[in-house]
Amino acid sequence: MPIPATEFIWFNGKLVPWEKATVHVLSHALHYGSSVFEGVRAYETPRGVAIFRLRDHTRRLFDSAKIYRINIPFSAEAVNEACRQVIAANALKRGAYIRPVVFRGYGEIGVTPKIEPPTEVAVAAWEWGKYLGHEAEEAGVDACVSSWQRVAPNTLPALAKAGGNYLSSQLIGMEARRLGFAEGIGLSSDGTLSEGSGENLFLVKDGVLLTPALAHSVLGGLTRDTVMRLARERDELRIVADQVGAPTWARNIADATAHVIGHALRLRGQGQFGSDLLHMTAAGATSW
């Protein structure tokens, strides 16, 4: 179903009606993928709505923009305040999904135009439930290992959360759905595990928390970082962030706990892994 409209979107420095937040069809980002964005969750708490690691999300937004040499005409604090404004202005008291996006707008045509197109900045927020559906929390989901691999580190920078990078994710996700799965898992260019179409991967076995290293075309997910921090603080799991071969994953997952986490979802559960199938249960919604 379409994104549920709220009343306002913060667009280039001010709140505008949802339907007025428009861009030109010849905007650079629409043709060449030159956008960076974040997906931020805000949660209802007894003290009001709380935004999960907002400053860290905004820092990553600015880092992504620097990688792609997109100049953001606002300060990080201005973007943080915009996120707060769209929550308040739209009365999203039960929490929300927040989408800051920065993109090259309408200007000269061409992949690298001589005159830099203007940079547009927008922040929208709306209520968004569980990414894979409410039934996934109890019944779990089926995921396949995709025939599409993630981009190699020297082709596109996986550490940047950029619009164009997600064409790879779309191929992985669309193939999975075409084959009847809820989600797809991509391997890195060397055949080791990388990530899902929009999630990081974890395996817990024998007191070890195993996850692919960032060098394996992995986005540095903030929930990934949070999970690793919590594990260190509890001192219950030894953390190994390294290459994880698909055969190793398949061999160990039958009696381990598999997790896939992303900004729009958090997956957890007892895993079953065949040649191309992973079954997991889902719970909650958090951050990639």
Question: In whole angstroms, how far apart are CA 100 and each of 58, 68, 209, 228?
Answer: 8, 16, 31, 25
Question: Is the C-alpha dihedral spanning 226, 200, 125, 127 positive or negative?
Answer: negative
Amino acid identity for residue 163 in this structure: G
> 147 CB contacts (<8 Å, ≥6 apart)?
175
Exactly one of 14, 20, 114, 161 is catalytic; name it. 161
193-196/119-126 β-pairing: unpaired
For residue 14, indicate whether it is catalytic.
Answer: no
141-145/183-187 β-pairing: parallel
DSSP-based three-state secondary structure for 203: strand
Cα 231 from Cα 34, distance rounded (Å):
36
Cα 214 from chain centroid (whole Å): 14
Contact between residue 142 and residue 182 where contact means Cβ atoms under 8 Å apart: yes
Q: Where are the beta strands (DSSP E) in the chain?
A: 8-11, 14-17, 35-37, 40-45, 48-51, 95-104, 119-126, 141-145, 183-187, 193-196, 200-205, 208-212, 238-242, 257-262, 265-270, 272-273, 277-280
- Annotated active-site positions, please? 161
